[in-house]
Chain A
Amino acid sequence: MTALNIGTTIYIPRDSSALSMGAEKVAIAIAQEAKKRGLEVTITRNGSRGLYWLETMVEVATDNGRVAYGPVKAIDVPSLFDADFLNAKAHPLSLGLTEEIDWLKKQQRLTFARVGITDPVSLEDYVAHDGYKGLKNALVLTGAEIVKAVSDSGLRGRGGAAFPTGIKWNTVLGCKSDQKYIVCNADEGDSGTFSDRMIMEDDPFVLIEGMTIAGVAVGATQGYIYLRSEYPHALKALNEAIAKAEAAGYLGNKICGSTHTFNLEVRRAAGAYVCGEETSLLESLEGKRGLVRFKPPLPAIEGLFGKPTVVNNVISLATVPIILDKGAQYYADYGMGRSRGTLPIQLAGNLKHGGLVELAFGITLRELLYDYGGGSATGKPIRAVQVGGPLGAFLPESQFDKPLDYEAFTNIWAVVGHGGIVAFDDTVEMAKMARYAFEFCAIESCGKCTPCRIGSTRGVEVIDKIIAGKDTVKNVKLLRDLSDTMLNGSLCALGGMTPYPVLSAMNHFPEDFGIVK
C-alpha cells in the first residue's frame, strides 16, 4: 500500500476564501500526517474551483483525473489517511472525480479555464495549460488586427458598465502620444463579487497576459494594476507572477523576442469604493484624493498623467487571451443578443452553495439561485436578490425568470454589473437595505458633486422618517424627488445609481416602507 503512494500529488487551494475556511491548517495537517505515516506526498497549492461551500476542498491526483474531498477540516485529516484517500478511496467527505461534480461540469469556463486546476504562480503550469498562446498570436498581428479581434468577440466591460472593450482600445490605438498606459481596475468593491480576486489569486498570469496583449495592441509600454487593499493574497500572487513573467521575458523589453516593451506594476488602493470609478481611480494612481473627473476628456484620450489610457476591469482583460488564442468567433458563439461570451457569475449572500459559476449570458436568476445556489443557506424562502453590487437593483421573486443579459436587465430597471448576485431570505427588511444604500453612498462619496455628497445624507434622514412612519406620503414623494436628482445630476455612478437599490426596494417591497399597495 505504502509503495503505491509515493509521490501522490495533493491539491490544496491557496485562494483566500479557501484560506478563510482553514485551508492553511489543512495543508499543514496533511503534510504532518503524511510525514508521521512515512508517506511521500507532493502538496500543490492550487487555486479554488469556486465551489466555496466545499472549501477546504482537497484533491488527489489519480490516473483517471483528480478526486475531490470536502469540506475538509484539519481534524478530518487522520481519518482521510485511514480511509486511504491517497488512493482515492471512499470517505464520508468524498466528492468523486472533480470534473464530474455536476455544479462544475455544467459550467462554461472560458475566462476561468485554468482556475483551480493550476498552481497560480507556476509559469510552467500556465504555459502547459494553453497560457501565452494568445500573446504569441497577438505578436504577429498589427495593433488594428488585435483590436478588431477584441471588437469582433463582442466583449463588453465586465466591471459593470458593459462598454464595448474593442471601442475603448480603438480610441487609444488612434491617439498619437509618446506614452500610453494600460490600467487594470482591480478595485473590486462591490459586495457579492469576487471574480476579480479569484483571477488574481488563482490565475494571475492570465491577467498579465491580457494586459500585455492590450499594451501590444494600442502601443502602451506601461501597465498598472490598481488593486484594492483588502486583497493582500492577490497582491502576493500578482507580484510573484509578475516577477516570473519578467524573468522569462514575457514582460519587460523585447517581450518574447519581439520589438514590444511592456512593464507592469501593482499599485495598492486604500479602501475608497469610489476609486472603482475609472477617473477617480486615475486620480488615485496619480497620488491624489480619488475625486471623480468630468468627462470629457475621456480617459482613452487624456487618462493617466494626461496620456491616452485603456482602463479595463480584471475580467475584461483576463478574457482577452482566450479570444486571441481561440478566435473572436469562438468567444462570440457564446451568449445571447448583444451580450456575447460568458459571464463569471458570483453566487453570494444567503445561499447554500455559493461560489463562482461561469456561463454564457442567458441563464435565469432562478436557475442560478436554485439549481446552482441550492436555495437559501438558512432554509427560508429567498425574498429578494441584489444583482450588480451595492448600486444594483433589488429584485423580487416575480423577476427570477429574467435571463442574465445586459439589455434584458436594463429593461427591468436593473443592472448585471460585475455579475454578483446576493440573496436574502424572508427576514430581510427592505427599508433598512434602502437606508444602507444611502448610508454607504454617504460614507463613500468623493464629495465632488452635490447630489451625491448631500443627497446621500438627506436620503438617510428621509428614509428614517419613513421607517418611523412619519408623514409617509409626503416623505415618499420627497424620496422619489431626491432620487430623481441623484439619478440625473450626479457626476458618476455612485450617486447616479444609489437610487437603483433604494427605488427598487420601495417599488417591489412597498409593504416594508409602510406604503399601502
Chain B
Amino acid sequence: MQDLETKQDLSAKVDALIAQYRHMLGALLPLLHAIQDDIGYVPESSYPQIAKALSLSVAEVHGVVTFYHHFRTHKPGRHVVQICRAESCQSMGSGALEAHAKKCLNVDYHQTTSDDAITLEAVYCLGNCALSPAVMMDGEVYGRVSAADLDALIAEARA
C-alpha cells in the first residue's frame, strides 16, 4: 500500500529528482514541485537531502517549503478539492459553498476526510472569475458551482 511507502523509497525518489534538477539555476522551487508532483507532498525527512544537494541549510529549505501555500508536508487525501475564497467568488456565494463543504466533509481547510478521500483547501483565485463560484478538483476547474454540483463532484470522486 502506498501509505506504507518506506522512508528509503521516498529518499530514493527524492535523490532521483535531485539529480535531475540540481544543476538548474534557482533549482529549489522546480525541485519541490517535482517532488510534490511525484510523491504528493514534500516530506520533511527530505529537507537534509535537498539542503545538501543545493548547498543550503535545512532551515532555508524549511523556510521555502512553508512560505508557499502550494507545498504541503503531509500526504493529502486521494483527491484535493480547492474552493476559491476570493472576492469574485464571494460575490456569487462562495461563503455558503465553503460552509457547505466543511459541514458535509466534516473537515476544515487543510484537513482530510476520515476516509482519506478528500483534502479540502482554500484557494485565492482560479482565474475563472466570470463563472464564479469556482472550485478546482485535482487540477480541473469547475465554474458556477452550486452546493449540489459540489456534492456530485465529491460523490463521483469517492465512487
Footprint of B on A, CB under 8 Å? Answer: 16-17, 19-21, 52-53, 55, 188-194, 196-197, 229-232, 267-273, 284-290, 305, 346-351, 354-356, 377, 386, 390, 420, 422-425, 428, 433, 436, 440, 443-444, 446
Q: Which interface residue of A229, A230, A354, A446 has the most chain B CB atoms within 10 A?
A: A230
Identify A194's interface contact among B26, B69, B123, B127, CB under 8 A: B127
The residue on B at minimum CB distance from A394 is B87
Q: Which interface residue of A190, A355, A420 has the most chain B CB atoms within 10 A?
A: A190
**Do A230 and B126 touch across chains, with their CB atoms under 8 A apart?**
yes
**Do A20 and B143 touch across chains, with their CB atoms under 8 A apart?**
yes
**Do B91 and A423 touch across chains, with their CB atoms under 8 A apart?**
yes
**Do A271 and B70 touch across chains, with their CB atoms under 8 A apart?**
yes
Residues of A within 8 A of B91 (CB): 349-350, 422-425, 428
**Do B26 and A285 touch across chains, with their CB atoms under 8 A apart?**
yes
Q: Which interface residue of A192, A287, A423 has the most chain B CB atoms within 10 A?
A: A287
Expressed in whole angstroms, the Cα–Cα distance for A378 and B130 within the complex equals 14
Residues of A within 8 A of B30 (CB): 267-268
- Beyond known contacts A190-B125, A229-B70, A287-B64: 17 more, CB 8 A cutoff: A16-B141, A17-B127, A17-B131, A52-B130, A53-B130, A192-B88, A267-B30, A270-B29, A272-B69, A289-B63, A289-B67, A346-B129, A348-B129, A349-B129, A386-B87, A440-B86, A446-B67
Expressed in whole angstroms, the Cα–Cα distance for A192 and B28 within the complex equals 31
Identify A271's interface contact among B68, B92, B144, CB under 8 A: B68
**Do B130 and A288 touch across chains, with their CB atoms under 8 A apart?**
no
Interface residues of B in 4-55 (CB under 8 A from A): 25-30, 32-33, 54
Interface size of B as a range:
35 or more
Residues of B within 8 A of A191 (CB): 86-89, 124-125, 129
Expressed in whole angstroms, the Cα–Cα distance for A284 and B143 within the complex equals 30
Is B134 part of the binding interface, using a Cβ–Cβ cutoff of 8 Å?
yes
Indicate whether A189 sits within 8 Å of B139 (C-beta atoms), given known contacts A268-B29, A386-B87.
no
Expressed in whole angstroms, the Cα–Cα distance for A440 and B123 within the complex equals 11
> Contact flags (1/0) for B88-107 with A, using CB distance below 8 Å?
11111000000000000000
Indicate whether A390 sits within 8 Å of B123 (C-beta atoms), given known contacts A270-B33, A289-B64.
no
- The smallest C-beta distance from A78 to any residue of chain B, in angstroms, reads 22
Residues of A within 8 A of B3 (CB): none
- The smallest C-beta distance from A401 to any residue of chain B, in angstroms, reads 21
Expressed in whole angstroms, the Cα–Cα distance for A447 and B136 within the complex equals 28
Residues of A within 8 A of B136 (CB): 230
**Do B92 and A230 touch across chains, with their CB atoms under 8 A apart?**
no
Residues of A within 8 A of B92 (CB): 349-350, 377
Q: Which interface residue of A20, A272, A354, A423 has the most chain B CB atoms within 10 A?
A: A20
Expressed in whole angstroms, the Cα–Cα distance for A52 and B136 within the complex equals 17
- The smallest C-beta distance from A160 to any residue of chain B, in angstroms, reads 14
Indicate whether A230 sits within 8 Å of B127 (C-beta atoms), given known contacts A19-B140, A271-B70, A286-B26.
yes
**Do B127 and A354 touch across chains, with their CB atoms under 8 A apart?**
no
Q: Which 7 A-B pairs have the closest CB atoms?
A: A354-B130, A191-B86, A287-B28, A270-B68, A348-B129, A20-B143, A271-B70
- Some 23 contacts from A to B, beta carbons below 8 A apart, are A16-B127, A17-B143, A20-B128, A20-B140, A21-B143, A52-B131, A52-B143, A191-B88, A191-B89, A192-B87, A193-B127, A230-B125, A230-B136, A271-B68, A271-B69, A273-B124, A305-B25, A348-B88, A349-B129, A351-B130, A354-B130, A356-B130, A444-B124
**Do A270 and B71 touch across chains, with their CB atoms under 8 A apart?**
yes
Expressed in whole angstroms, the Cα–Cα distance for A222 and B126 within the complex equals 28
**Do B32 and A270 touch across chains, with their CB atoms under 8 A apart?**
yes
Interface residues of B in 121-159 (CB under 8 A from A): 123-132, 134, 136, 139-144
